């Protein structure tokens, strides 16, 4: 039994025959938690968590394709079946039957990491846009068209920088992508970790025709830090879709997996 199902929400309405679109965004912290001798591998539990989200589209940040140092630390010899997966994290986390899109944002000494999209629906050509603003942070946008119920939905997955001025410029790049390069009549989803602790980016995306996912009952949904969430860093913005519900799963099990909690939103065509 998946222990995360009972802590999330009722059975999903977003099966292949349903009209609603369920979108989740989740910063998975590279699949590990802790530091030094207390560092632990959470990627296996994250696989159960992603399955429990039961989302049509899962937008992931801080995803590793490989890391030689972590693979050695969590070796098969020491950890057995609980070792570092023998496939890229996006492929490992994808529920059975899901399409996977991944592109690297940052290259480090022992590996790399980037953004990923897992989709219950067929995907098209995968695009990547480098929005690195300075040499100390490598950032990118993952752009993937998803064929949902015969409708092409353009999904942009992002993880913005730690400096406010960088985030402003990166968000302006997102707005330009949406306004100038995506089909004007196509629904759009922009999701990810905005690192926008002072809530200063909404107006840039609103000017590009995007609406932040919220409801009257949940206008601001904090996701960070996972143990005591106070900041709404993880968000979804859309064009051509109307938010029906939004939630963040809570509880000790979810708090262990990453420093962020996932955000889950349900949409219908506007």
User: What pLDDT, on a 0 to 100 scale, did the predictor assign at position 188?
Assistant: 98
In the numeric block, the tokens 């990118």 are attached to 140
User: What pLDDT, on a 0 to 100 scale, did the predictor assign at position 226?
Assistant: 98
pLDDT, tens digit, 9 for 90 and up, residues 68-106: 999 999 999 999 999 999 999 999 999 999 999 999 999
Can you tell me the distance from the alpha carbon of 152 to that of 63, in angstroms, rounded to the nearest whole number?
25
User: What pLDDT, on a 0 to 100 scale, did the predictor assign at position 2?
Assistant: 84
- Which residues share a beta bridge with 119? 57, 99
CA distances from 202 to 90, 116, 197, 223 (A): 29, 23, 12, 17
Q: Which helix (H) or strand (E) holds 62?
A: strand 57-63
Reported as a pLDDT band with limits 50, 70 and 90, residue 12 is very low
pLDDT, tens digit, 9 for 90 and up, residues 224-252: 999 999 999 999 999 999 999 999 999 99
pLDDT, tens digit, 9 for 90 and up, residues 130-172: 999 988 999 999 999 999 999 999 999 999 999 999 999 999 9
Reported as a pLDDT band with limits 50, 70 and 90, residue 9 is low
Q: For residue 13, is pLDDT > 70?
A: no
The answer to whether 144 touches 120, Cβ cutoff 8 Å, is: no
Q: What is the mean pLDDT of residues 39-55?
A: 98
- Which residues share a beta bridge with 111? 67
């Amino acid at each position: 039994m998946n222990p995360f199902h009972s802590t999330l929400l009722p059975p999903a309405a977003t099966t292949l025959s349903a009209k609603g679109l369920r979108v989740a965004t989740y910063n998975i912290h590279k699949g590990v938690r802790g530091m030094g001798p207390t560092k632990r591998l959470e990627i296996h539990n994250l696989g159960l968590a992603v399955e429990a989200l039961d989302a049509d589209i899962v937008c992931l940040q801080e995803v590793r394709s490989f890391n030689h140092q972590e693979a050695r630390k969590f070796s098969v010899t020491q950890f057995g079946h609980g070792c570092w997966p023998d496939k890229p994290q996006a492929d490992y986390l994808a529920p059975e039957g899901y399409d996977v899109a991944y592109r690297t944002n940052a290259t480090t000494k022992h590996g790399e990491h980037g953004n990923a999209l897992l989709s219950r629906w067929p995907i098209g050509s995968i695009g990547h846009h480098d929005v690195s603003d300075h040499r100390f942070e490598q950032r990118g946008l993952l752009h993937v068209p998803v064929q949902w119920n015969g409708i092409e939905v353009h999904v942009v997955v992002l993880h913005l920088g730690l400096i406010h001025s960088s985030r402003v410029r990166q968000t302006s790049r997102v707005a330009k992508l949406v306004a100038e390069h995506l089909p004007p009549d196509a629904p759009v989803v922009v999701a990810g970790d905005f690192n926008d602790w002072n809530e200063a980016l909404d107006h840039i995306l609103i000017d590009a025709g995007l609406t932040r996912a919220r409801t009257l009952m949940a206008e601001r949904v904090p996701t960070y830090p996972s143990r005591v969430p106070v900041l709404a860093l993880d968000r979804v913005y859309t064009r051509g879709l109307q938010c029906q519900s939004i939630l963040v799963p809570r509880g000790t099990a979810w708090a262990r997996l990453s420093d962020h909690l996932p955000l889950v939103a349900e949409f219908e065509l506007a």
